[in-house]
Amino acid sequence: MSRTPVALLSPADRDRLIALRRMKAVALGALIAMAVAFVLAFWLQERYTWLAYVRAAAEGGMVGALADWFAVTALFRRPLGLPIPHTAIIPTRKDEIGRTLGEFVETNFLAADVVREKLSRTRIAARAGEWLRVPAHADRVAAEGATVASAVLGALSDDDVRDLIGDLAREHLIEPDWGTPAGVWLQRIVETDAHHGAVDLAVDSIATWLDTNAESFSGLVSRRLPSWVPKLAHRFVDDTVYHEAVRFVGAVQADPRHPARIAIDGYLARLAEGLQHDEATRAKLENAKTALFDSPRVAALAAEAWHTAKAGLLTSLADPQSGLRVRAAQAVREIGERLTTEESLQRRVDSWITDAAVFLVDRYRHDIASIITDTVERWDPAETTEKIELMVGRDLQYIRLNGTVVGALAGLLIFTIAHNLIPGV
């Protein structure tokens, strides 16, 4: 029966082939037994009249066995190789069977109302939540997600990513005008005094630096004095400059209306005005922005940042104990817990899934069903016949065996009725 070498069959198909051959042998054995019984009964019925009943039963059994053998064989091939019409149904009508099967699936299984009714009775969100909140399952989801993410990162070309980052930066950062938005933003900051906190932070930082770096003023001014000035005067000048700087910064810290603060407010207000209305100021900002982004150093820093981020992500994704994997698994468990306990969330998720499934089925059901039709059309007729026979052939052999038994009983019954009711028989 099998054209495919047994060694190439899957273990399941090998088991089916063995079972099929065994049932074929049983069905053939029943036919042979009926034939032997018929010959013996036909030969000896003149001597033993009761053998006429055996002959009738055997004759009916042979007819039933042969008829069912023909019917079963005609599904898969031509009986005895004869070109009998309406035989070898599966190989000759394979494509039609595939189209019919595809239409059946499309009509009865991929209908929108069928899908909606089925999904409406299925607690998808609750079941998913119960599964996801199990720690082992959450870890598995996180692991699978990490594997997919690692594969995607590994497949990305560093050059392509760098070009993409450059294109996105140019499109969203370089090409748009910064002047007017920056001026509006800065004006709002000045009007609401939101910049005072930054000024306080800067002044405090300067004061802290002065407290810890007094030695930095040594020679700052004195090295510019004439050589004939005494060394003591050098030290006095440097100390005076340092103390004046400390006193000035302290005054700025203590007085919210210090002239330096007012000067900063005025400068920022003028800058905001210029960025909004002065072409020269806007041009300076745009030139500085372009020079910054076009700088080879900035491009190198972007590439280095991508390499560092990629390496860090791959390392974290590969380590089951990394913070990223642990937090991902924890997030999955939290999602599962919410899906299990929050009925409102369950209803929303179930509704989303149902609506999405119905939309996809309603829009693409013909394309989905055509997968069956196209797949069956690509199958080789001989291989198709072989696989179908392996799947259902064993059960069909029972039909042959049942036909033998039913034929024998029918032959015996018919002969008995005729013998007892028809005169002269």
pLDDT in tens, 173-225: 777 787 788 888 888 988 888 888 888 898 889 888 888 877 777 666 666 65
- ∠ Cα 147 150 152 (to 5°): 110
Domain endpoint, select from 300, 316, 332 = 316
Q: Are residues 231 and 303 in the same domain?
A: yes
pLDDT at 221: 62
Q: How far is CA 151 from the centre of its chain?
A: 13
Query: Residues in the chain with pLDDT < 50?
Result: none
* Token pair of 290 as six digits: 């372009």
- ∠ Cα 401 402 408 (to 5°): 95
Any domain includes 322:
no
Q: Are residues 209 and 302 in the same domain?
A: yes
Any domain includes 342:
no
d(CA 280, CA 273): 12
Position 19: which residue type? A
pLDDT at 421: 82
Q: Are residues 308 and 398 in the same domain?
A: no
List C-alpha distances in Å: 264 to 257, 276, 417: 11, 18, 123
Q: Are residues 277 and 178 in the same domain?
A: yes
- Per residue in 349-370, pLDDT (tens digit) is 989 998 998 888 888 888 888 8
d(CA 113, CA 109): 10
Q: Are residues 47 and 166 in the same domain?
A: no
* Token pair of 33 as six digits: 């037994």
Any domain includes 221:
yes
User: Residue 410 sits in which domain range?
Assistant: 13-92+380-421
Residue 332 near residue 140, CB atoms below 8 Å: no
d(CA 220, CA 217): 5
Any domain includes 249:
yes
Any domain includes 58:
yes
Q: Are residues 80 and 201 in the same domain?
A: no
* Token pair of 306 as six digits: 């991508």
* Token pair of 96 as six digits: 């039609």
How many domains would you assign to the chain? 2
d(CA 339, CA 124): 10
Q: Are residues 183 and 291 in the same domain?
A: yes
Q: Are residues 408 and 311 in the same domain?
A: no
Domain endpoint, select from 316, 336, 353 = 316
Q: pTM above 0.95?
A: no
Domain endpoint, select from 316, 332, 354 = 316
Q: Are residues 87 and 166 in the same domain?
A: no
Residue whose structure tokens are 């294109």: 167
Q: Are residues 255 and 170 in the same domain?
A: yes
Q: Are residues 43 and 175 in the same domain?
A: no
- Residue 61: how many other CB atoms lie within 10 Å: 27
Any domain includes 71:
yes
Any domain includes 142:
no
Q: Are residues 42 and 191 in the same domain?
A: no
Any domain includes 1:
no
